[in-house]
Structure formats: C-alpha cells, structure tokens
Chain A
Amino acid sequence: MKKFMKNKKQSLSLLIIVMLVLPFVLNIYWLDVLTFVLFYVVLAQGLNIVVGYTGLLDLGYAAFFAVGAYTTAILMTTFHWSFWLTLPVAFLFAVVAGVIVGAPTLRLRSDYLAIVTLGFGEIVRILAINLEITGSASGIYGIPRPTIGSYVLSTQKDFYYLILVVAILSIIIVYRLGNSRIGRAWVYIREDEDAAEAMGINRIRLKLLSYASGAVIGSFAGSVFAVKMTAIAPLSFSFQQSVMILLAVVLGGLGSIRGVVVGAALVIVLPEILRGVDDWRHLIFGVSLIVMMVFRPQGIWPAKHEADDEDDLEEDESKDKKQSVPV
C-alpha cells in the first residue's frame, strides 16, 4: 500500500496515457461503452459529494443530469447558442434545482429524504414529458455539434476526449473539495449532524452547498450528453438511471473517489460483458451485486480515514508528519 502511495503519481499518469491511447485500439463498440463509463464516472462523482461525503441519500440524481441536458439542448436548438455558453447557464439552473430539492429536505433524515428526492426526480422527468419546450415525450433532436474554433466535434473519438476531460475535471473538483474545510464539514455532517453543528458547522448552508455542487457536476455530464447524442428524450433520465448512478457510488465505496470510478466502470461494463449470456445477464448482474454487498458492504475500494499499519500506534512520538489520508 505504501509503495502504491509513492507511485501514485506514476500510476495516475500511466492511467491517463492509457485512456488517451485507448480510442486508437478499441473498436467503435467498445469505444462507445468506454464513453458511457466516463459519463458515469462524472455522474457518480457528482452524486458522491451528496451521498458519499455528506451522507444524504438521493434517489433522484438523474434530475440534475436532465437539467444539464435540456438546458444545453434548448439553448442550442431554439436559441442557437454556442455549446460552451450553455454550460454556465446549465450550472446555474443546476444550482437552483439543487437548492429546490435541498431546501425542503434539510430537516429530513435518511428514509424520508430518499422519498422526497425520489419525488423530485420523478417531477423533473414528468415535466420533461409534458412541457412543450422540452419536446414532450419525443424529446429534443437535431442538437448541433459543438465547435472549437473552426473544428467541429463530431466523431466518436472527439466526444470520448471531451467527456474524458470532463471526467478528469470532475475528479479534481471532487478531490479538492473533499480535502478542504468544506469537504471535511460535509463528512462531519454525515458522521454526526448534531455534533457537527455543535462544532460550529452551519449544517443548513453546507447541505445546500453539497446538493448544489453535486447538481452542477451532474448537469455538466448532461450538457455533454446532449451534444454527444444530438437527441435527448425523457427516457434517459428515469428513476432507473438514478438508481444505476447510486449503484456505482455504493458499489465502488461511498466517499471514495477511486472506488467510485471503479464502480462506474463496473456498472456499465459488466452488463456489456454479460451480453454473451443473453437471457441470463440481468440475473447474473443482480446476483453479483447481492454477493458484492453481502461480502463487501463497504464497497470495492472504500475511503480510508485512518493510517494503514497497526505499528504506527507505538512509534508515534518521533513522528511529526501525518500519513496522507485520502478521502
């Protein structure tokens, strides 16, 4: 483990190089799968802030994905905005949506909270089905391609790289937030809300901030999703979607950035690998999830909060520098 820590930088850069080279190795099918893995990495990292760090169970997270996708789609089709300009607007709407779902739930805990967020997710989806501006049930199509200067992003590879950048960005954002006083405050709220309040942490403000931050990252994924697919429909933002994102977070390890990346990959790749066994694949996927949760409830790669080795209990006095504690 220690060796790994030392080699962390190298392994990270190696991983990034592999990710950069992969499009030239993979066929179009697997490239598409990998692109969706990256979408899920972004979404799961965003939800990780809310569920993993702050401990607020959110069953309607796909709503923020929808907010981003629809904002971008509407602004680009109806108002002919540039893709890049739609992003800040999407973020703003996401913050508003985050506060809307956050505000009434501030005093609720666990199960009640889950039900309210579930309702919120459904409201957004049903609004999308029924509003004219969102194109009703058929959604919005003919979303233009984004451009960088005179280059039009249009191929599979282009979008793979675009979402790769977004994924790396969101990981950096979640990592940095997690290692700041704000991220720690979120974790304190998760651990013991009353004690956190007693320590001077304004839980109302910080919970809202948590919802808003998670929402912005979710909407970022949504905006990119809209231009990648060129068509969006309410079906993509169903309860099922929220559950799959939540699954990625729980499976990988709540609050663990690395774990959540692994979780996102599993949730997308596993069903694809199982395509060979056809009728059985949902059953096998389901059973493996159950087995996973029974034998490793903390997730595949859980967050670490204390030092690894037992022996530092004894040799402490001389030690002055802390062990790094990744969240």
Chain B
Amino acid sequence: MSILTVKNLKLQFGGLLAVDDLSFTVEKNSISSIIGPNGAGKTSVFNMITGFYRPTGGEIILDGDSLINKKPSKITSLGMARTFQNLRLFPNLSVLDNVKSGMHCRTKQTVWGALFRTKNQKTEEQLIEEVARECIDFVGIRKYTNRAAKNLPYGEQRYLEIARALATKPKIILLDEPAAGLNFEEKQYLINLIRRIRDEFNITVLMIEHDMALIKQISEHITVIDYGCKIAEGTPHEVLQDEKVIEAYLGKEDAV
C-alpha cells in the first residue's frame, strides 16, 4: 500500500522548468530515496511535498489527503515531518525546547489554558515533555538535553533535527541529505537510526541522499531524477545498473 503518491508534479520558476511531470509512489513502511545529480530538482520536490513551494501542476496525496495548496504547518499536522538539507534548528534554544516544538501540532491548549494553568494544560505540558524526552533518548543525545542546540557537535545537531521531526508523530519522515557532513562512524549510526525509525515507530522514511554507499545499504526503493524528470526507479541493485543512471549521475561522480 502506498502512503505517499506524487502524480504529474510540475514546478516552474519563470522560464525554468525545475520539475517536469514527475510521478512516484512511496510504499507504507518502506525506506525510499530520491537521488539525482546536483540541481536535479530533489529538494524542490521535497519543498513541494511539504508545502514550502506551490507546484505549478500535479497532485500530491498523503494517506488519502491531498496536500496541494496546504500550508506547511497543516501538512505537518497531517502526518508529514521533514528535516532540512542545511540544518534549521532553533539555535539558541535547548535541545529539549527544540524537540518540544514537534508536539505543537499534536496539542491544543489555548491562551486560556496557559493563563489559568488548567488541569488540561498541565497534563498536556507533561505529555509534551515526555514525548520530547523519548525522542531525544531515541536518537541518543540525552546528555545534551539542556544544551543550546548551537553548541552541539555537528553530528548531534543532525540527530537533533531528526528527533524534532519525530516529535510531530509523523506517518512519514522526509530526510533531506541526512548524512551530509557526517564521518564514517556517524554514518553507520545514522543508518542504524533510520532503520530503527522505521522498525520501532513504523514510520515511512523518504530521503534525498548523495552517499551511494549509504543508499545501497538501507534504501529499499530508489527514484532517480535528472533535470526534473524521473529517469529510473527500482531497487538499489536495479537502479545502479541502469545505463541512464550511470550516464546521468554516477558517470560524472566517483561516488561508488
């Protein structure tokens, strides 16, 4: 069963066609990837799926809900979480406060509750903290709980962004180049983490990645795009043998 369906997606910036007639589906509980050379339109696709760009045409459906013309915050509350290619943490806030942000769309206390400290408000605050701590533990950065996000080592900042996304209790999580800037050991840790996200939380993972070794290890399904068009899809094995892919992507880089 597919959880995310993208149909004939198109994105035009003036005369530039960034994404052209792109269709793909993401199976529920899979770990899938979108790969492609620099400037192929991967991040644009992510930005359309998460509501940051408005597609020129096409359809995006998350578990039965159309995402077209919806605000990013609405899309997040429908069950889609994301991380950013260049970390977008709340730099001056503690790790705990960063992760608490994820629970915003899962809670509903108003000004009234905040001012009068109602019982519901207190229960909700407890819940927010519990979930946040659980997510922090899950990605393994507990010892930084009270540190400001900007003071964390780079790798831990990546994990923090994932923890924050998990706190929104998503159905699917979109990771934009999660391994960028990580060293070998950190990458191994990340691979394990992504697997655990899927296995323990039953969250579908869709990622953009450049690191072929990493993709080969964990991705079950790959969509390859180049110049905004899909040029191949399938298992890593199939895709990496595909001539068009080798030509467009691997031929130009010595990534393998």
A residues near B (Cβ < 8 Å) are 173, 176-177, 179-185, 187-188, 191-192, 194-203, 209, 213, 305-307, 312-314, 316-317, 322-323, 325
Q: Is residue B248 within 8 Å, beta carbon to beta carbon, of the partner chain?
A: no
Closest A residue to B167 by beta carbon equals A199
The answer to whether B90 touches A195 (Cβ under 8 A) is yes
Bound complex: CA A209 to CA B143 (Å)? 35
B146 contact from A180, A196, A323, Cβ within 8 A = A323
Please tell me the number of chain B residues within 8 Å of chain A, measured between CB atoms.
51
Contact B117 A176 (CB under 8 A): yes
CA distance A209 to B168 in the complex (A): 22
Across-interface contacts of A312 in B (CB, < 8 A): 146
Interface of A is mostly: helix
In angstroms, Cα B152 to Cα A294, docked, is: 27
Residue ranges of B at the interface with A (Cβ–Cβ < 8 Å): 50, 52, 71-74, 76-77, 81-82, 84, 88-94, 96-97, 100-107, 109-111, 113-115, 117, 121, 124-125, 128-129, 142-148, 151, 164-165, 168
The 6 A-B pairs at the shortest CB distance, nearest first, are namely A200-B105, A180-B114, A200-B76, A191-B90, A307-B146, A195-B88
Question: Judging by beta carbons under 8 Å apart, are A191 and B76 in contact?
Answer: no
Q: Which residues of B contact A200 (CB under 8 A)?
A: 73, 76-77, 102, 104-106, 168
Contact A316 B143, CB 8 Å, known A176-B114, A195-B88: yes
The answer to whether B96 and A201 touch across the interface, beta carbons within 8 angstroms, is: no
The reply to whether B92 and A199 form a contact with Cβ atoms under 8 Å apart is no
Chain B contacts of A176 at CB under 8 A? 114-115, 117
15 further interface pairs, Cβ-Cβ under 8 Å (given A200-B76, A305-B97):
A184-B100, A187-B93, A188-B93, A192-B88, A196-B101, A198-B73, A199-B165, A200-B77, A305-B92, A305-B93, A306-B94, A306-B146, A306-B148, A306-B151, A325-B97
